[in-house]
Amino acid sequence: MGKLNLINICLFFFCISLFNIQTKCFDERPWLYEKKAALFIFGDSQFDAGNNNYVNTTIGKANYWPYGESFFHYPTGRFCDGRLVPDFIAQYAKLPFIPPYLPPRNKLFIDGVNFASAGAGALVETRKGSVIDLQTQLSYFKNISRVLREKLGDTEAEALLSKAVYLFSIGGNDYSFPFETNSSVLYTYSVEQFVGQVIGNITQVIKEIYEVGGRKFGLPSMWPLGCVPFSRTRVPEGENKCFEPITPYVELHNIEISKVLQKLQSDLNGFKYSIPDFHTLLENLINHPSKYGFKEGKVACCGSGPYRGILSCGGRRGVTEYYLCDNVNEYVFFDSAHPTERAYKLLAQLAWSGEPSVTGSYNFKALFES
């Protein structure tokens, strides 16, 4: 009888131990039971959450006051007074803030990771040496995917990668940088040829992510770049107009990226995409700010010169004197090229639950739930 009790007791503690081991396993790999989609982020300053803090660059950093003043109450490296679109998307998807890839650390990134770099473009030549270009961001993602496979095994890693959403904001610097530097590419290539190069690079990266396992992609339409405060400084003072020479590039980009995504959905099994119309919403915010509860749509909260369009916010880019508004919530733009947190939230809400702008596409909520 005593032996039988001892065996029962041993069996009991063995089962408890086994349960604890399984529970620990699930605690370390919560997607096995929560089944949340991860979020992988690629792009430029619209999405950079602090990668450029670790890049040898001056113009592409926002790790000083007053950046971050509204929400985080300290500078994180985001070009904003607070949160960016990916931060809101993560919140809506019930994910934590998605961390920047840099500095590299011993972490699985099961909720996703942010590779975006302020100033980056789809073309390697765009601000070469001062940013993390799109191809390098792709290589970082491939590193992460390899680690996931090593740690989780192929089956679980493939499930995570296929369920994840891949969010892009890229191309704007490719079009604005040549105008900033009066580059010869403006005369060497036609609009169609240059846009074709940018779209081609983005398409190739999407295809490579698909080959690794990605299936769901979000690419908001490009902003009206000629109408941000920085661009308006290129127009003769007093004309109160957008900088129109860049507009053909933006318009053609938005047309062509939509065509590419539709074709990829047709050609690639399981491919899904979202292309929220950020261009139209931001254009409306700029031209009709009061309709959305803002007081100022064309002048930035922080900066100097006409429209506060000189890149001087924080006084760390060569111009030390700058103006900072009293109430950031009254402004569409925080600095010379980037919206305020309040404006970004409107863009994120459109992306999350707005009506798809293209037949056959999804909003972000549907992408995460699919």
- Mind listing the pLDDT tens digit for each residue in 230-263? 999 999 887 889 999 999 999 999 999 999 999 9
DSSP for residue 36: P
The DSSP element (H or E) to which 324 belongs, if any, is: strand 323-324
Tokens of 94: 């019930």
Q: Which of the pair, 344 or 9, is modelled with greater confidence?
A: 344
Q: For residue 67, which amino acid is it?
A: Y
Active site residues: 45, 335, 338
Taking the C-alpha atoms of residue 70 and residue 74, their distance in angstroms, rounded to an integer, is 8
Q: Which pLDDT score, from 0 to 100, does residue 27 have?
A: 41
Site of tokens 């661009």 = 231
Query: According to the model, what pLDDT value does residue 35 have?
Result: 67
DSSP string, 200-266: HHHHHHHHHHHHHT--EEE-PPPP-GGGSHHHHTTSPTT-----GGGHHHHHHHHHHHHHHHHHHHH
Contact between 256 and 219 under an 8 Å Cβ cutoff? The reply is no
Q: Is the pLDDT of residue 174 over 60?
A: yes
Q: How confident is the model at residue 21 (pLDDT cuts 50, 70, 90)?
A: very low
Q: Which domains does the chain have, with CATH numbers?
A: 35-286+341-369 (3.40.50)
Percent with pLDDT over 90 in the chain: 84
Whether the per-residue pLDDT at 108 is higher than 90: the answer is no
**341-359: average pLDDT:** 95
- Span 300-325, mean pLDDT? 95
Query: At 169, is the secondary structure helix, strand, or coil?
Result: strand
pTM of the model: 0.91
pLDDT higher than 80, residue 31: no
Checking if the pLDDT of 140 tops 50, the result is yes
Residue environment code for 68-99, b if the CB has 16+ CB neighbours within 10 A, otherwise e: bbbebeebbbbbbbbbbbbbbbbebbebebbb
Q: How far apart are CA 262 and CA 153, in angstroms?
A: 32
End-to-end CA distance of the chain: 57
| pLDDT of amino acid 317 | 87
CA quadruple 74, 79, 82, 85: dihedral sign: negative
Residue 144 amino acid letter: I
pLDDT reported for residue 67: 98
pLDDT in tens, 190-230: 999 999 999 999 999 999 999 999 999 999 999 999 999 99
